[in-house]
Amino acid sequence: AHAHFLSPQDVYTPTLPEDMVPYKTESISDVARVLSRYGNAIAIRIYGDAAKWVIGRGHRVIEEFARWADVPVFNMEDDLYHPFQALADIMAAREVEPKLQGKKFVVSYAYSGGLKPLAVPQSEVLITTQFGMDVVLAHPKGFELEDSVINAAKENADRYGGSFKVVNDMKKEFEGADFVYPKAWSPKQFVPPYSKTVDKEGASAYQGKFKDWITNRELLDVTNKAYYMHCGPADRGQEVTNEVLDAYDRSLYFDEAENRLHAQKAIMAMLM
């Protein structure tokens, strides 16, 4: 979106109390209350470099804005969660299968050369386990999600029915799947707080060991005619083949993209 009335390059960076630098940053407590007077909502997207690759820092920024703002604060994706994407995705799933209970939904790692946050896979296992599905999280060793998210997914499965499990075999779990959601994320042991420093090269090198975690037609053929899902934009030739994105007739890729608009407008209508 284009910034109206404010020039982004002329605004001090809103930051957490421990990162304040005179004449370069401004406290979130101040920024949140000022922006609350300028508009009817605040939308924030923050992860990766913007969050200094400290897992959870981006989410803390959004929580701090929500604490001080007088208007709704929308999480457009941080380093832990992507709630709007999860809403768009479950909407797409229900459009093709109104009754999701008992369906096998596989959230899987997929290779990418780029560094990606945990937000999408974490949000997917949290929302799908609230619909009574048999949810499987598949990833290589070293790509574990946050313990709190895994525990919450297990609690959701117990509460709403269905099941949840974590495995290290993508191809095996695609067998009999009704929905597959292969998506890249980066191994957290290379960034704080699980590492003293941010090691982007180390993370990229480790990801490079799993280039065979790619979705192609052969892999989809072992599913139960599964619907292919991805938050987009997918890394073609890494996470998924062109053939799947362009020709697979049970892809929800573009439906999900469209539903982001509808989901976000619905939340705006509820809160603004």
pTM: 0.94
For the segment 222-248, the average pLDDT, to the nearest whole number, is 98
Architecture of the CATH domain 8-77: 3-Layer(aba) Sandwich (3.40)
- Residue 252's contacts (CB-CB under 8 Å, 6 or more residues apart) are 89, 92, 93, 96, 227, 228, 229
Lowest mean pLDDT among 17-21, 44-48, 92-96, 226-230: 17-21
pLDDT value of residue 102? 97
Query: What percent of the chain has pLDDT above 90?
Result: 91
CATH class belonging to 83-259: alpha beta
* pLDDT value at 2 more than 90: no
pLDDT value of residue 6? 62
pLDDT value of residue 201? 98
Q: What's the whole-number average pLDDT of the chain?
A: 95
* pLDDT value at 189 more than 70: yes
Specify whether the CB–CB gap between 222 and 106 falls below 8 A: no
* Predicted confidence (pLDDT) per residue in 15-63, tens digit: 898 888 988 899 999 999 999 999 999 999 999 999 999 999 999 999 9
Give 115: exposed, middle or buried? Use CB within 10 Å, 0-12, 13-18, 19+. Answer: buried
> What span, in angstroms and rounded, lies between the C-alpha atoms of 112 and 207?
7
* Predicted confidence (pLDDT) per residue in 117-168, tens digit: 999 999 999 999 999 999 999 999 999 999 999 999 999 999 999 999 999 9
Quickly state the pLDDT bin for 9 (edges 50, 70, 90): low
* pLDDT value at 11 more than 80: no
CATH 3.40.50.1370 domain span(s) along the chain: 8-77, 83-259
> What span, in angstroms and rounded, lies between the C-alpha atoms of 29 and 85?
27
pLDDT value of residue 140? 98
pLDDT value of residue 5? 61
Return the SS3 of 37.
Answer: helix
